[in-house]
Amino acid sequence: MKRKILKNIEWSVLICTIVLVTIGLIALVSATRNSNYEELTRQLIWLAISIPILIIVVLIDYDFFAKISPILYAIILALLLGVLFTDAINGATSWFNIGPFSFQPAEFAKVVVVLFLAWLISKIQDKGKDEINKFLKLSLVLLAFAVPVLFIIKQPDYGTAIAFVSALVFMLFVSGIRKRYIISAIILVVILVPVLYLFVLPEHAKTRIDVFLNPNLDPRGAGYNIIQSKLAVGSGQLLGMGLFKGNQTQLGFLYPKTTDFIFALISEEMGFIVAAGIIFLYVILITKAVYIAKTAKDDVGSYIAMGIAGIFFFHMVENIGMTMGLLPITGIPLPFVSYGGSSLLSNFIMIGLLLNISGRRQKAIFAK
């Protein structure tokens, strides 16, 4: 059985992950050389923790994770509620501090919510695919999605909240949801966006949007980071300025260079070729996740893979887009590349699930 799983696994997913992690570690060497490589050391520790957990996730049938997802969902809700009562870090109550390490429940909530929604949608569809289009049952899915998202918005962490939205959209799209719901959702978004901007968003969030539209409104304040990031991206040209030689990176103009703006560091010091290569790797990873969803042995596996594809898609587009001034800054990390233990571990768990689902595909699917 294990030999069959290893034969069916989509190894290109793991290869893309390894290359991205390697590029991220090289970038962290440059980013942390003036701080005794403290963040690099922590990232290596988290990597050492993540690898055996990935192996465990691959070996245990994903159906088991789906079945226990209601329990995991209840636990993660308790953690998301509890973290709201911790001390704020950079204006957000998003972390539990455990000794020298910090734990961000919202990162693991992405995995748990995808598992739970996949399980819930598949249970709803036990009596037929069209069951998801019944208003009350669709409302149940939306409620299960909304509760953790509201907790995350309360932290506040709007970027991560939107990642959940991306996962939900990908999952509902393949669940057979009717077009009228899709059209209604689009209309609702168009109506709500200006309302949220005018009456709901806090001032700092409005400022980020205003600065995104015109960074020169506050070049020494809210617009500073994006201006420095765009300078770093442009300075790299084709081959980059060389490791440890980036002006914006090494002179301290680019901040935070280990998390939000690590793609700008890579663009400046490693150049357009490596930066474009990163985008290409993400495209392969997301495309393979969609393919795994298409060839999964059951609906649960398909929904899990699509939810993961949605999360990776949003993180890639938002992080790279904001470093180039194409999207507002939200503090979203670049998967496998940015520094962050919780993010790295949760991403490895999602890769483990993708490998798990691909390894348990049926041969008949490939014959079609």
DSSP string computed for 184-231: HHHHHHHHHHHHIIIIIS-HHHHHHHHHHH-GGGSTTTTTHHHHHHHH
**Res. 341: pLDDT tops 60:** yes
Please state the rounded mean pLDDT for residues 72-95.
90
pTM: 0.93
What pLDDT score was predicted for residue 68?
Answer: 97
The string of pLDDT tens digits covering residues 296-311 is: 999 999 999 999 999 9
Q: Residue 296: what are its φ and ψ, rounded to 5°?
A: -65, 155
pLDDT band at residue 367 using 50, 70 and 90 as cut-offs: very low
What pLDDT score was predicted for residue 99?
Answer: 72
Please state the rounded mean pLDDT for residues 224-237.
92
Please state the rounded mean pLDDT for residues 43-68.
96
Q: Is 341 in contact with 28 (CB distance < 8 Å)?
A: no
Q: Before 256, cis peptide (omega within 30)?
A: yes
Which is it for the CA torsion 21, 27, 33, 34, positive or negative?
negative
What pLDDT score was predicted for residue 1?
Answer: 56
CA 254 to chain centre: 22
CA distances from 112 to 54, 65, 181 (A): 15, 9, 25
Q: How many CB atoms lie within 10 A of CB 227?
A: 18
More confident residue, 11 or 128: 11
Q: Give Cβ neighbours of residue 84 (< 8 Å, ≥ 6 apart).
A: 93, 151, 154, 155
CA distances from 249 to 1, 43, 326, 333 (A): 49, 19, 20, 17
The string of pLDDT tens digits covering residues 179-195 is: 788 888 888 878 887 87
pLDDT band at residue 366 using 50, 70 and 90 as cut-offs: very low
Residue carrying the six token digits 């420095």: 228
Residue carrying the six token digits 């978004």: 189
**Res. 368: pLDDT tops 60:** no
Please state the rounded mean pLDDT for residues 219-242.
89
The string of pLDDT tens digits covering residues 103-125 is: 899 999 999 999 999 999 999 99
CA distances from 219 to 55, 166, 227, 262, 321 (A): 47, 31, 7, 20, 19
Q: Angle at CA 154, nearest 5°, toward 148 and 158?
A: 80
What pLDDT score was predicted for residue 106?
Answer: 95
**DSSP-assigned letters across all residues of 246-302:** -HHHHTT-STTTTTTTHHHHHHHHHHHHHHHHHHHHHHHHHHHHHHHHHH-SSHHHH
**Res. 365: pLDDT tops 70:** no
Q: Which residues pair with 102 in a beta bridge?
A: 97
**Res. 363: pLDDT tops 50:** no
Point out the least confidently predicted range of 37-46, 141-150, 220-229, 312-321.
Answer: 220-229
The string of pLDDT tens digits covering residues 276-285 is: 999 999 999 9
- Report how far residue 283's alpha carbon sits from residue 265's, in angstroms, rounded to the nearest whole number: 21
CA 314 to chain centre: 6
Q: Residue 39 belongs to what H/E stretch? A: helix 38-59
Please state the rounded mean pLDDT for residues 333-341.
95
